[in-house]
Structure 1
């Protein structure tokens, strides 16, 4: 399902058989709002992943700032951020996640699934590096009760540089390995953060009251099983609650660095 208000003809989602260099460039340049790749993973692979996750040690985002509750497997950088810096315990969480995933008996790790989606489009793709160390790539998230309206922008959120190379554009990528029969839509708004928006920030939370997007063009996209989804998270976005069932995805951030590489992190 797709809906867009008729304001900016460039704020649209396109479907592709795979992620292409032209698609990535179009997103970065603002000629597209999102790229959808139906069937990036087969239903059988999705079912195998979700079955294995039943035995995985799922964690939760920091509940003092992330509400409703979001379950996850693997580190999220924003749970390890303090005063605009990445805390050292991020690396401990990354090692623990890799060790736990290796016990699940699956052929591909979240890191490999994310990297593989971009290799044909952009051969120079790799995990981002911070102070010479590879960032973790691939986080599993179960978002059943929805998300606060928010944006993601490493340039604003981290003092100096998050990665060793300057990130000149940031994208977000998800593969949906389980989708609810109803609900769970991603909503994008054609609006980025402005200083006055802080008045609508949710106290104690990471996001904003939805009034921050009032009278703004939007795009609503319902995920399908095995679909790959790429968009610019610097636009305000949210996830609607699942009416029934579970919504599980594997994802990461994707940065275009100043030397023309794609750097991934979670």
Structure 2
């Protein structure tokens, strides 16, 4: 099930329930105000600087995602652009508070040890990538793991990883979020992977254990180490702001990055 709460009610208890796999996710309906959604429609939906996602080029995005990093050249470009990309998302919601900044503040307030941007070798990361899923495109079943994209010399003691998606536009048909109650090992995941450049063929999996349709303005946080997917959308794009959240233990701050 999803724990459905108000934004002001977000607490370490809900986050810990998700970390402990007691719930499939946390849902905050109406996390983004109608005024902020209208600002996004004017300034973000058709942004001229959106480009193809490096590891899944059927998607477009605004801002480089950490999962696109395959070599040191891309890594340096990612970090050099991080602050500018954060500001670009922030500016798209002016004169209102960016919902990504709102999430960052609420995580810092909810978690006893606070929350802050991930840095890699002293270089700040970006958070708040905007993804555009066009009609007819699905996000195939997959998992996400920070360690796959870190520099070879750097490994972190990450105990868990969460994924936050803020829904700016959800089509009337399609775009449902699917979650399987399956957290594959590295070997299991490699065995399941398909011929596509990422992810798993649906015919290798049973039906999803949990499916939900987000609505415009919702925030949903899940555990992306469990297999998850998005069904194909129809007629209009599905547009989201997203961030990963890293957990190092109860006595450490949360971290976030995109």
Once the 2 structures are TM-superposed, how far is the Cα of residue 50 of structure 1 from its aligned partner?
A: 2.4
1:9 corresponds to:
none
| Whole-Å separation in 2 of the counterparts to 1:121 and 1:187 | 27
Q: How does 1:68-147 map to 2 (within 5 A)?
A: 69-82=58-71, 87-98=75-86, 100-101=88-89, 104=92, 106-107=94-95, 108-109=97-98, 111-122=100-111, 124-144=114-134, 145-147=137-139
Shift of 1:211: 3.2
> How many residues matched?
248
- Kept after mapping to 1: 8 A contact 2:167/2:214: yes
In structure 2, stretches of 5+ residues that fail to align are: none
Match of 2:23 in 1: 32
For the 8 Å contact 1:56–1:100, the answer to whether it is kept is: no
Rounded to whole Å, the distance in 2 between the matches of 1:43 and 1:102 is: 16
Residues 58 and 71 in structure 1, CA contact (< 8 A), matched pair in contact too: yes
Shift of 1:92: 2.9
TM (normalized to structure 1)? 0.83
The runs of 5 or more residues in structure 1 that have no matched partner are 1-11
C-alpha separation between the residues in 2 aligned to 1:52 and 1:224? 20
Contact 2:86 2:127 in 1 (8 A): no
The alignment's C-alpha RMSD in Å is 2.5
Alignment partner of 1:21 is 2:5: no
User: What are the Cα deviations for residues 71-114 of structure 1, in whole angstroms up to 9, with x where unaligned?
Assistant: 1111101111349x972221133245246446647244565243
Q: Which has the higher helix share?
A: 2
Matched, 1:175 2:166: yes
TM-score normalised to the size of structure 2?
0.86
Distance 1:246 1:132, change over 3 A: same
2:49 to 49, 54, 57: 57
Give the secondary-structure state (helix, strand or coil) at the position aligned to 2:68. helix
Compared with structure 1, are the counterparts of its residues 86 and 185 closer, same or farther at alpha carbon in structure 2 (3 Å cutoff)?
same
CA distances 1:137-176 after superposition (whole Å, capped 9, x unpaired): 11111123221210002235544646xx522110000111
Q: Helix, strand or coil for the counterpart of 2:178?
A: strand
Counterpart CA distance in 1 for 2:126 and 2:11 is 24
Q: In the alignment, is residue 203 of structure 1 matched against residue 195 of structure 2?
A: yes
